[in-house]
Amino acid sequence: MATGSNARDGASAPAAWSALAVLLLLLASLVVAGVGSAALPGSSDRYIPARVADNLAVLTADASLQVLFGSAMVVLAVTFGRFFGTGGLPGRLAMIGGVIGGAAFIAAGAILQETIFYSLFVDSKQAADLAAASGAKDLTALNLAIGVAAGGMRSAGSYAFGLAWAGWAIAGARARQLPRPLSAIGIIAGVGFALTNWIGPLAGPFALFGSLIWLSGLAAVLFRRARTA
């Protein structure tokens, strides 16, 4: 029968690959977000039908990456759950936060895809009928509602990710599976993620750069452990 240490060693590689996947998808999302901001600089550009139609590629990439990022977070939660075992209360809360946060981002991406669907597959008459139902001239109001719903899901995901980052960092430090400096960064990144919904300009950099360092460190530590197992 495998000991707890052997079980962790066997779970290191899947956890490492999951952390790397989340890191790469986060970086890809930042690139796409930058391209999207350049192509759609106005605060209302993402909702105006003509602007949506002209930028379907970047909007599709944005929505798809949110679905992929959320999916990777669910996988990360499961693989980290195997690596840390129960992890006590922090570990359990982290797994719950990771799954809920991942599901929230999957939902956000799926909701945003509705805007793309309307632009691609709804003809002018159907669009006029939909707009008239909301008392508008075009689909801008509907697209705005879709954007607000997706934003709410991302906010929920941010709270959950904050819980997950901090929980895994604490569980890793308590079980002596992660270096304490890396765990401290994970806690800072987790708190930053949760606070972006309130003080985004102040907490955002801590959440972003902290998460990049946290995920990179996690992948490095876990890959090293998998090689020496």
DSSP state for residue 25 in the 8-state scheme: H
Percent of the chain with pLDDT over 70: 94
Domain total of the chain:
1
The answer on pLDDT for 1 being more than 70 is no
The answer on pLDDT for 4 being more than 70 is no
pLDDT tens digits for range 145-177: 999 999 999 999 999 988 899 999 998 888 888
Q: Three-state secondary structure along 52-100?
A: HHHCHHHHHHHHHHHHHHHHHHHHHHHHHHHHHCCCHHHHHHHHHHHHH
22: containing domain = 4-228
Q: How many CA atoms lie within 13 A of 84 on its CB side?
A: 29
Question: Cα–Cα distance between 17 and 85 in angstroms, integer?
Answer: 18
pLDDT of residue 204: 83
Instruction: Provide the b/e sequence for 87-125 (b: ≥16 CB within 10 Å).
Output: beebbebbbbbbbbbbbbbbbbbbbbbbbbebbeebeee
Name the least confident of 60-64, 129-133, 219-223: 129-133
pLDDT of residue 206: 85
The answer on pLDDT for 85 being more than 70 is no
